[in-house]
Structure 1
Amino acid sequence: MSAIPPSEKSPHPKRVLVLGATGTIGRATVKALVDRGHEVVCFLRTNAGFGVEHEPDESSRLLHGAALRFGDVTDPASVDADGFHGEKFDVLVSCLASRTGVPRDAWAIDYQAHCHALKAAKADGVEHIVLLSAICVQKPLLEFQRAKLAFEAELIASGLSYSIVRPTAFFKSLSGQVDRVKHGKPFLVFGDGELTACKPISARDLGEFIARCLDDPACHNQILPIGGPGEAITPRQQGEELFRLLGREPKFRHVPVALLDAIIVTLSALGRISERLRDKAELARIGRYYATQSMLVLDPRTGRYDAAATPSTGSDTLFDYYEQLIRGKARAERGDHAVF
């Protein structure tokens, strides 16, 4: 989509403040921004984790080339004083997202923390905001989707230039069954394994796309659904390729969606007396959503997902990633919303 190839330096390097830099996509985005010649400052939680807790010097190694600042993204005073620090930034890039998607986390992070950052950005004179959202907000049945949409609306109404990036499925969320299949277990699918499809995108390709939004006018004041290269693939195709890479005959176990429904009903009932079980019910709803909804562009006229209308970018494929995992050349980072 962009006129600027990934390997080129930005024609107009900018000063960029990044939120959510410790996540898989955040790290890839920081690298892409630094590689393009932007001056990058990351605003992190104290002892921000990369899956585990790290000291600031370890964070610096993992976010090489970027300056680091520490504070509390949920505290507007900290965002202003510790993040922006009275300095001028041209762009705010946010890869920030709630870790679980349960309602209180979603509204605290996906909505409220972003509202704090938006207010501080406007006061600072930021000209452009790039927001990592999610393609699933097209059909909002869950609280975290509603929270993301609420902030998208705030951003669009803010008067600032924006790029709202809505990616399809990430490699990490589609890699949870590699180890179980390697150990001789069947590949689990819901229904016949053809209920859903997606165009998976790697962290590197998505980070490059987000970084290009700074320089490409065609990406400004736009909502940008984006997928990875190639055709859309179903869970059954994922399993078939995984078995092929392992040199084994495909072996599937079919899980009825009704099982998830029963779990949700039970946990919802128990959740009336337990916050912990209420959260588990919401996580089960999230799992059901991903088990039954495609991560593709939704045609509002037909209510159907459209692979052909889902833009593609990059060169990394999920199946190449599977091969790297099998050979031990990559390590899967599971997402909190992964179904398996």
Structure 2
Amino acid sequence: MSICFSSRVFNLHSAKNQSFVTRFSSQFINQIHVSSIPYALPSSSLNLSELLKHSRQKKLNPITASTTPSVETLSQSSFRNKKPKDINVLVVGSTGYIGKFVVKELVDRGFNVIGVAREKSGIRGQNSKEETLNQLKGANVCFSDVTNLDALDKSLRNLKVPIDVVVSCLASRTGGVKDSWKIDYEATKNSLVAGKNNGASHFVLLSAICVQKPLLEFQRAKLKFEAELMTEAEEDNGFTYSIVRPTAFFKSLGGQVELVRDGKPYVMFGDGKLCACKPISEPDLASFIADCVLSEDKINQVLPIGGPGTALTPLEQGEILFRLLGKEPKFLKVPIGIMDFAIGVLDFLVKIFPSMEDAAEYGKIGRYYAAESMLVLDAETGEYSAEQTPSYGKDTLEEFFERVLREGMAGQELGEQTIF
């Protein structure tokens, strides 16, 4: 059963980083935060073993979607000729960290927004329906299950209005193996199929820049869906997509601000120059995603995007923080070999205890973000390029650090993305 509510008058017209932060004591790694893991297999009826088998196939199965009679006669590109108030935008992952900003941005721009949410949403399902309605104020809220294609499709049909655009902000909360395929591939694909079944002719996907160098399971899941999304557009001339690959989010770089303010050293791997990123604020990213709904220059494009200014290494991020605090820089440099040792131990233990598969994957995620830049990877040189990474928006990391120093990290919690 699907239930649809609205925090305003229901106004649908008939015509939805990455990055890594570490906290250490003097002897042990206490926490590793993984964000945006940012972050799904041929059919929801397949079991996991079949899904993983499909994930390794070189040939990608095309996505098929039937069209309901009520929307069959609509011109698939007609929504771009409408005013925002007449365009129905479905946002999946609407209660997620980025999804909330995207819903707000789309509402502010005057679109008719339908946010899909679980009946118990938020971190560990802590939010009630009432809290979700308040959180997505200005949008119409449809309570359904994106991991169940039949349920999602029925929910959208029950709206009895066509969907013009789907914006997916779905992402695995943990980056674990099963969760990655369930959300980053399967649930995202369900959103595409159900959206097309109900008239959608454009799909905006929030992906991640780190998929350029896929060493992790969630990256493989995202890439598989990206490839099938492109295939769908090739086979259906009336269907388009925009794939957004952002760099690190501000919140994923803020985990040490309060610690440093309290006198702790700033922790970094190696010399602090192993990686770099052009972090982007959540409102700026939401604005870019909203641009993709109507901007014709973003149709059928893979769009890497970073924030304004130059790329910053962990060393430079720490220096900014100490400067804002007026303190002498104090860094704790941790050999990257510690991560390699931990991963080796976990990989060995998985052979004995298969249930530790996710723990081993988390270690690899931490290692990845400790050493890989969140920038465009130059295909010719094999090097990360700050110059080739587009900049967007106006919010800077320094401004974010200033705000956290004043107000704390309230509202920036990583929740289930705290994995160690």
Relative to structure 1, is the Cα distance of residues 39 and 11 closer, same or farther in structure 2, using a 3 angstrom cutoff? closer
The structural deviation recorded for 1:277 is 2.4
Please tell me the residue identity of whatever aligns with 2:192.
L
Please tell me the residue identity of whatever aligns with 2:148.
D
Q: TM-score, normalised by structure 2?
A: 0.76
Contact kept, 8 Å, 1:297 with 1:310, in 2: the verdict is yes
CA displacement 1:102-157 (0-9 Å, x = unmatched): 11111111111122221112221211000000000001111110100000011111
The structural deviation recorded for 1:246 is 1.3
Q: Separation in 1 of the partners of 2:270 and 2:301?
A: 36
Contact kept, 8 Å, 2:247 with 2:277, in 1: the verdict is yes
Relative to structure 1, is the Cα distance of residues 132 and 289 closer, same or farther in structure 2, using a 3 angstrom cutoff? same
1:44 aligns with 2:111: no
Q: Separation in 2 of the partners of 1:276 and 1:247?
A: 47
CA displacement 1:146-199 (0-9 Å, x = unmatched): 100000011111122000000000011111111211221110000000111100
| Aligned match of 1:61 | 134
1:281 aligns with 2:360: yes
1:175 aligns with 2:254: yes
| Aligned match of 2:218 | 144
Q: Separation in 1 of the partners of 2:303 and 2:157?
A: 27
Deviates further, 319-328 or 44-53: 44-53
Structure 1 spans left out of the alignment, 5+ residues: 1-8
Contact kept, 8 Å, 2:156 with 2:194, in 1: the verdict is no
Contact kept, 8 Å, 1:167 with 1:226, in 2: the verdict is yes
The structural deviation recorded for 1:230 is 0.5
CA displacement 1:11-51 (0-9 Å, x = unmatched): 67510110001112101100110011100011111110157
Q: Separation in 2 of the partners of 1:338 and 1:168?
A: 19
Q: Separation in 1 of the partners of 2:286 and 2:350?
A: 38
| Aligned match of 1:5 | none
Q: Separation in 1 of the partners of 2:276 and 2:365?
A: 16
Query: Which of 263, 270, 276 matches 2:349?
Result: 270
| Aligned match of 1:300 | 379
Matches within 5 A, 1:56-135: 56-85=129-158, 86-135=160-209
Structure 2 spans left out of the alignment, 5+ residues: 1-81, 234-238
CA displacement 1:253-302 (0-9 Å, x = unmatched): 01111000000011111122334422111001001001110000000110
The structural deviation recorded for 1:83 is 3.9
The structural deviation recorded for 1:339 is 9.1
Relative to structure 1, is the Cα distance of residues 337 and 329 closer, same or farther in structure 2, using a 3 angstrom cutoff? closer
Q: TM-score, normalised by structure 1?
A: 0.93
CA displacement 1:286-333 (0-9 Å, x = unmatched): 010011100000001100001011001111111100110000166333
Q: Separation in 2 of the partners of 1:290 and 1:229?
A: 21
Fraction of identical pairs, as percent: 53
1:204 aligns with 2:269: no
Contact kept, 8 Å, 2:167 with 2:203, in 1: the verdict is yes
> RMSD value over aligned CA atoms?
1.9
Contact kept, 8 Å, 1:321 with 1:330, in 2: the verdict is no
The structural deviation recorded for 1:63 is 1.0
Please tell me the residue identity of whatever aligns with 1:202.
S
| Aligned match of 2:303 | 224
Contact kept, 8 Å, 1:174 with 1:338, in 2: the verdict is no
Query: Which of 401, 407, 417 matches 1:328?
Result: 407
Greater relative contact order: 1 or 2 (C-alpha under 8 angstroms, separation 6 or more)?
2
Relative to structure 1, is the Cα distance of residues 75 and 161 closer, same or farther in structure 2, using a 3 angstrom cutoff? same
Please tell me the residue identity of whatever aligns with 1:244.
R
1:30 aligns with 2:103: yes
Q: Separation in 2 of the partners of 1:83 and 1:30?
A: 18
Relative to structure 1, is the Cα distance of residues 214 and 12 closer, same or farther in structure 2, using a 3 angstrom cutoff? farther
CA displacement 1:227-260 (0-9 Å, x = unmatched): 0010000000111111111111100001111000
Please tell me the residue identity of whatever aligns with 2:102.
T
Contact kept, 8 Å, 2:277 with 2:313, in 1: the verdict is yes
- SS of 1:166's equivalent? strand
Relative to structure 1, is the Cα distance of residues 99 and 139 closer, same or farther in structure 2, using a 3 angstrom cutoff? same
Relative to structure 1, is the Cα distance of residues 172 and 276 closer, same or farther in structure 2, using a 3 angstrom cutoff? farther
